[in-house]
Structures are given as structure tokens and as C-alpha cells.
Amino acid sequence: MRLLYSILSLRKCVQRWPYNFAFNAETFKFRSSSTISRTGFDNYEEARISWNFEIPENFNFAADVLDVWADKEKTGERNNLIPAFWFAFEDGRQLKWSFQDFQRETMRTACMLEKQCGLKKSDIVMVMLPKMPEFWLVNIAAIRIGFILSPGSMTLTAKDIAYRFSTLKPSCIIAHETVVDLIDQVADCCSSLKTKIVVSSTTRRNTGWLDFHSLYKNADTNHKCAETKSNESMMVFFSSGTTGLPKMIEHSHSSYGLALAVTGRYWLDLTSENILWNMSDTGWAKTAYSNIFAPWSCGACVFIHQMSRYSPDTALKILSEFPIDTLCAPPLAYRTMVHENITSHDFPKLTHCVSAGEALNPEIIRLWEQATNLKIYEGYGQTETVLLIGMFKCLDYKPGSIGKPAPGIDVVILDENENELGAGLNGEIALVRKKEGIFGLFNGYRNNPEMTKLRLTEKYFHTGDMAYYDEDGYFWFVGRNDDVINSAGYRIGPFEVESALMEHPAVVEVAVTSSPDPSRGEVVKAFIVLKDTYCQKNEQHLIKELQDHSKRVTAPYKYPRKIEFVKELPKTTSGKIKRFELREKEWKKN
């Protein structure tokens, strides 16, 4: 099945980027100010109108995409000098695999897991691996065999793992040696768990664990890929759990494996000549987005740096030393990098920067562009979906906006009664449910039909996120529905207040939430991390200065009536600020 390329016209992606010049001041100025799409996505409205996509009955990302790119390398249609997978170890070693290399090694992994470990189609397998090549081998081997993969963060506790065992009921776990003891603490509570495989660099083995590398090196490289239906379950992600217990989000072979090709072409703007570095850790859906499906759909190179602990200085050095032309990073990374000595670094190959995960403050966008001469193109999506809204290169750039709906996605703003709202009105972001379904939408919350029905109604999929769109059709993120503050009848989104405060030179990070108030019901409270140079200033004078600044930058009624200075903000392991945690503490305290 090779419909993917003809349907999406992705053959354009193999055309060479026409500007292949050496670095100097003049080319840097041209390169960075250019908004030319590398994939030919130059007319937004035309792409929306002409969108026509039918999901095939069968689809398998390994056979229908990766193996096709391997064939293109053999015939010379893809440049063999650009790897498909480029892994940089912290000790300086580098691994580069072509699509042909990757085809061979993922087939070897599939043979090992199927023949020597007994895994079969539809088995459920949990994976806890850090950034290492074996993580990508296991992901694609899973697709070749047809078993259901569920990645987990390396920061999970024994309690977290026990919860996943009890809800997911995996038959196998593939884990790094550093978490084996943790898993063994709770493994007995999971009666479905039959096979445990460790990826280890030592000879030490816990009882009952199979050694990945011993089995891998002797495995066959000739594997027949399973035939998988497009709607068959492929992956299960656990939500980040910023509110309540994590939910199991189930994706099919087409909802991610096929639909993320659109994200790759239109937002990441990738061709087979490009090298993408996405900073996401392995336990999150963003790795599936931008380290697997989106880039490889376009034949691009996935660059991974081991970087076991994020450092803004290290990130800037990586961008300087490697020929990365596309960067996908969370807001936290951009926020920290702009406060480093960023102007001392050159990024001679970098041409395209994107951000997702949570909204990015316009001030950070300004500082990044000031230092690099590159814009940051924001995107909005959820684990349950593919990219829904994006700032695409063919659009007039509006700093702070998350852009316009992606081709194939119909987005509306709803009130609490599912009435569609017009321009300028805050409401919930929702997707219109068509007869053929919603492109790229998940299968549902696994074993939770009630939650699925709550989010996916007869007409819409409810995201739970608040936004509005302006007269030009650009969307502006407001916050999670739970985060919106209702103060004396005014509905105030935390993000717009945070954006205003971020423009003040004293502020490094900020989180805004509600705080109880006897007369107004609740008021805006800002938790602020200060720059070191402001920590010794008079606290009351600085609070007044920040409040006055907020009144000047945004509507006066939105200013934070309460401000608290903190050393750090609570975050999820994926870097998202836990506003709900701040809110709960604030309300309990008062």
C-alpha cells in the first residue's frame, strides 16, 4: 500500500531545497527572513479547499512508509548522504543509519521479539527506555509485528508503574537497566506480565529478565511485516496527568502513522533533505509526533542527542555543532535558551523553528528572533490528535498566535452549550465531527467509554482548551478550561496575563492562577520566578511595578491583584507548568 505519497503529493518532499549556500552574514540575513516553504506549501486557502483524503482499509507505517524510503535510497530518489536516523551520544560517538540500515535493524528486532521472545500481533507491550537507538528499534519493530506499544517516561515511580500495570495489563515490558529494580517491586501485581526484557550495558541480570542485546545480535534480518488495518490499535499513551489520574489514549495505525504526515509536510515543513531535532523525551506523544511519524513520512533525518539532562547551554552548542536545519522544542527550552549567552553561538544551518506543548509567550518569540533572526512557528495539538492549528510559513506571521487550522481539520470555538461562537469571543476549542470522522483523531480512551463519549459528542470533539479567533481567522490560546479565572464576572485567561508579565525584564518564568477573594469571588494571582538581579529589590515596590506594567500591556481588569515570588514553578516531567497544583494550594491555604 503506497497511497500515502500520491494522496498527500508527498513526492514534492523529495525535491532538493534550492538554497544550498555557505554561511555568511548576507545569506544569514536572507535565509532567516525567508518564509518560503521547502515543501511547496505556499497557498493556505488552496490547500484547505483542495483537501481530499480517504483512509485506506489497510496501513502499516513500517511497510508503507519506511520501506518505501529504503527503496527510494536504492534507486537514488533519496540522497544517501543524509541519514534517516542520526544519534549523537554524550561521549562523542555518533550512529548514522540510512533507511536501508534502519529497515534491516528493525526487521532484526522484530524477528527477535517475535521468534525469541514470543510476542505476537495485538500483544500489549510497555516500554521504559531513555533516548537510545534501541527505543526507535522497538517502536518500529512493534509496528512490523502489529503489537500495541505503550511508552513510559523514565521518571515514573513504582506507584506510577503499578497504576499502568493495573490499567494497561501488558504482557511484556522492555526496560532500561536503571529501572529494572523499580519494576520488580511491583511486577508481581501484574498477572498479565509474562515477559521482561532488559536493555543493559552490563552483565548484571535480575531474575526473570531476558537480555535484549544477547538476543538481538543473533536474530534473523528477514521479517515479514504484519498486515494491519488502518483502525487497529497501534499505541497507547498515558496523559501527562496535570489534572487527575492519567488516561489511556489509544491511537490507531492511521491516526498517528498516516495522519502525522500532514504535520510533517505543512508545519514542520520537511523534505527528505532536512535534518530535524525534536527535544522531546521518549515517554511522551511528542516523540511519536516529531521523532517518528511526521519526519519519516517526509523522508527527513531524525536527529537525536542523548543529552540525558537538559541544559540550555548544551542545547545551543548542539545547534552550533550539528547541521540541524529544523528545531522543534517546547516553550521551556526556548525560555531558558534566550536567557543564556545565545548571541555567542552561530547556527549556520538552522532555518526553521517550531514550538508546541503549551503556548509560547510573545516576549520569548521576540527575544529568540532578536538573537537568531528566526521566527518561532507555534503549533497546537493534543495527545488525542495530530496537529490541529499551526502558524504555517505561508501565513502572515502574528507573534503569539497559534495560527490557523491545519488542512483537513475543521476547528470551531464553542460555548458551554455547544453553540459556535464568532470572532473575538472566548470559548472551547472543538473539532467538527464529519461523516468520515475526524482526521488524525484517536480511537478513544482505552477501557473508558464514558470519558470518550464526554469528549467526543455527536457533533464535536471537545479539547477542553480555551481560545478565540480574530477577524483574520487566527487563533489565540487562552488556557485550559479549568485554568480560566472568573473574577467579578470577567473571564480571564492565564496565558494573556503571563504574556504581559513576561515582557517585564525582572521575570524569568510566571504562572497565573485564581485565588479566592471575598468580594470578587476570585482574583488573578501570579507566581513569579525573578531574575537574580531583581531578587534583592524591595518586594512591595517590585509588586507595584509589575502590576502597573500589566495594566499598561493588557486590559487593566486582568492585572494580578496578588503576586508571590517563588524560586521555581511546579512542572510535569514533560515541562508543562502545573497551574492546577498552584491553584489547589492557593485555595486550600485561603
pLDDT (tens digit per residue) in 244-278: 578 999 999 999 999 999 999 999 999 999 999 99
Contact 118, 195 (CB under 8 A): yes
Split into its structural domains, the chain has a count of 2
pLDDT score at 332: 82
Residues 364 and 505 in one domain: no
Q: Is residue 31 part of a domain?
A: no
Distance CA 68, CA 2 (A): 8
Q: Is residue 346 part of a domain?
A: yes
Residues 378 and 419 in one domain: yes
Q: Is residue 33 part of a domain?
A: no
Residues 412 and 545 in one domain: no
Q: Does residue 551 have a pLDDT over 60?
A: yes
Q: Is residue 22 part of a domain?
A: no
**Band (279; pLDDT cuts 50, 70, 90):** very high
Average pLDDT of the segment spanning 559-587: 88
β pairing state of 172-176 and 124-128: parallel
Taking each continuous run of H as one helix and of E as one strand, the counts in the chain are: 20, 26
Give me the residue label for grid cell 481588569. 557
Q: CA-CA-CA-CA torsion for 63, 383, 200, 115, nearest 10 degrees? A: -40
Angstrom CA distances, 272 to 14, 85, 95, 221, stand at 5, 12, 19, 25
pLDDT score at 30: 37
pLDDT score at 5: 40
Average pLDDT of the segment spanning 468-477: 96
Q: CA-CA-CA-CA torsion for 76, 81, 82, 87, nearest 10 degrees? A: 130
Strand partners, 481: none
Helix (H, G, I), strand (E, B) or coil at 267: helix
**Band (575; pLDDT cuts 50, 70, 90):** confident
Of 49-58, 474-483, 489-498, 551-560, which range is least confident? 489-498
H or E stretch including 278?
A: strand 275-278
**Band (33; pLDDT cuts 50, 70, 90):** very low
Average pLDDT of the segment spanning 53-82: 96
Contact 100, 145 (CB under 8 A): no
Residues 116 and 228 in one domain: yes
pLDDT score at 240: 61
pLDDT score at 160: 87
Give me the residue label for grid cell 507548568. 577
Residues 274 and 403 in one domain: yes
H or E stretch including 444?
A: strand 444-445
pLDDT score at 54: 87
Residues 401 and 499 in one domain: no
Q: CATH number of the domain that 543 lies in?
A: 3.30.300.30
Distance CA 323, CA 347 (A): 8
Of 476, 511, 532, which one is at a domain's C-terminal end? 476
Contact 271, 15 (CB under 8 A): yes
The pair phi, psi for residue 415, each rounded to 5°, is -90, -175
pLDDT score at 14: 33
**How is 8-63 classified by DSSP, letter by letter?**
HTGGGGGSPPS------HHHHHHHHH----TT----HHHHHHH------SB--HII
Distance CA 397, CA 318 (A): 27
Distance CA 90, CA 455 (A): 42
Of 450, 476, 502, which one is at a domain's C-terminal end? 476
pLDDT score at 20: 30
Q: Is 205 exposed, middle or buried (0-12, 13-18, 19+ CB in 10 A)?
A: middle
Contact 430, 413 (CB under 8 A): yes
The per-residue pLDDT for range 142-187, each reduced to its tens digit, is 999 999 999 998 988 888 899 999 999 999 999 999 999 999 999 9
pLDDT score at 244: 57
Q: Within a 10 A sphere around the Cβ of 16, how many other Cβ atoms? A: 11
Distance CA 92, CA 105 (A): 22
Contact 362, 337 (CB under 8 A): no
Question: Which of these, 513, 504, 557, 563, lies nearest to 533 by C-alpha position?
Answer: 504
Contact 454, 445 (CB under 8 A): no
Residues 470 and 493 in one domain: no
Strand partners, 58: 229
How high does pLDDT run on average in the chain?
A: 90
Q: Does residue 443 have a pLDDT over 90?
A: yes
Q: In terms of residue numbers, what domain contains 303?
A: 66-476
The per-residue pLDDT for range 332-363, each reduced to its tens digit, is 899 889 988 898 999 999 999 999 987 788 88
pLDDT score at 3: 42
Of 476, 497, 531, which one is at a domain's C-terminal end? 476
Residues 199 and 96 in one domain: yes
Contact 381, 374 (CB under 8 A): no
Residues 340 and 462 in one domain: yes
Q: Is residue 30 part of a domain?
A: no
Q: Does residue 27 have a pLDDT over 50?
A: no
Residues 403 and 273 in one domain: yes
Average pLDDT of the segment spanning 499-512: 93
DSSP H stretches of helix in 118-177: 133-145, 158-168
The pair phi, psi for residue 581, each rounded to 5°, is -70, -40
Q: Does residue 219 have a pLDDT over 50?
A: yes
Could you tell me which residues come within 8 angstroms of residue 158 by beta carbon, excluding any fewer than 6 positions away? 182, 185, 186
Q: CATH number of the domain that 275 lies in?
A: 3.40.50.12780
Assigned C-alpha cell, 78: 533519496
Helix (H, G, I), strand (E, B) or coil at 401: coil
Residues 192 and 258 in one domain: yes
DSSP H stretches of helix in 281-402: 285-288, 294-297, 312-321, 331-337, 362-372
pLDDT score at 284: 86
3-state helix, strand, coil in the chain (%, to 5): 35, 25, 40
Q: Is residue 439 part of a domain?
A: yes
Q: Is residue 275 part of a domain?
A: yes
pLDDT score at 493: 78
Residues 310 and 365 in one domain: yes
Of 16-25, 149-158, 187-196, which range is least confident? 16-25
| Torsion sign over Cα 481, 482, 483, 487 | positive
Q: Is residue 544 part of a domain?
A: yes
